[in-house]
Structure 1
Amino acid sequence: MEQRRGDREAFTAWATARRPQLLRTAVFLTADPGRAEDLVQEALTKVAQRWPRLRDANPDAYARQILVRDNISWWRRGRHEVISEVPDPGRTPPGDVLVERRILLLDALRRLTPRQRTVLVLRYFEDLSEADIALALSVSAGTVKSTAHLALRRLRECAPELSELLSQEIS
């Protein structure tokens, strides 16, 4: 009983600390805040079910892998609902560079294929190695490299405004 309480408290502390990062990753993976919330909730539920085994291992990697795999399963099933959120101009001050950059980046990511978006998010936002991404996606490291290359080229073509940002922050 005492062990369960300790597990519950440890999981709650971990989930509270990691949820913002998991949500950020999920938003970039899906380009849909609602779907991202669902993905994170599913991932946290699955981590909670396996917490006694994961607490001393690497729960972050397991949660990230769940996000990626559940998202892949979702788009493979063909439920491709596209939700476009138009930002409310009253919510942010006009000319806020960070907000404008984020909107531009999310819009550009929506133009990529799900695999391209996943590779870029894991590589540049989660800072995973090509080998780790290949393992998470069950593909070769070469596939990860070529997918990242094509995705970056496509981003530059679709959103020329991002070229300077991409060359500064990703290169």
Structure 2
Amino acid sequence: MKSFLICVLLMATFIVNAQDESGTVYLKDGTVKSGLVKSRFFGGFKFKSNESAEAIDYKASEVSGVDVDGKRYRSITIEDGKEINLLLWVEEGKKNLYLRSTTITTASMNGIPSFTTVITYYLEEGNKVTKLGRRLKKKEYSLFEDCPALIQKIKSKDIKRTDMEGIVRYYNQQCGD
């Protein structure tokens, strides 16, 4: 019974928070649409050109990007040709940084669900995209080898290896000419 009540409360929270936001949709055919955007619980979203218009359902695979609520989401293609749909674009410059956040639900022994968020970063420079994980590993320092000042700041722990956004921001501001 507890599990059922918790699930109902969680669903109610998602439904209450799912409101139309002003946004822009970038379709893969190059069309750009501005209007109201609402995320769907199981992926994709609904788009309306205005409050009285009929909603159009879009799958995440149908668009190249969405700007909504001050955030930008873009689809990117990684090395093996696989496309990853609608990642949060967190840093823009010579090197672009994207974030993918996935929530994993597991049940515990007492039946209460447990939620874990897994964060993965992707670094894009030109046409090359590299999956980074949650922190910069030492073997990935080579991605920033043209910026020795940044490598030194990471080694001296002035910038933490877990601060992916700070690392890419520093690179773009100081070394990304």
TM-score (normalizing by structure 1): 0.24
Which structure has the bigger radius of gyration? 2
Q: Which structure features the higher share of strand residues?
A: 2
TM-score (normalizing by structure 2): 0.24
Q: Which structure features the higher share of helix residues?
A: 1
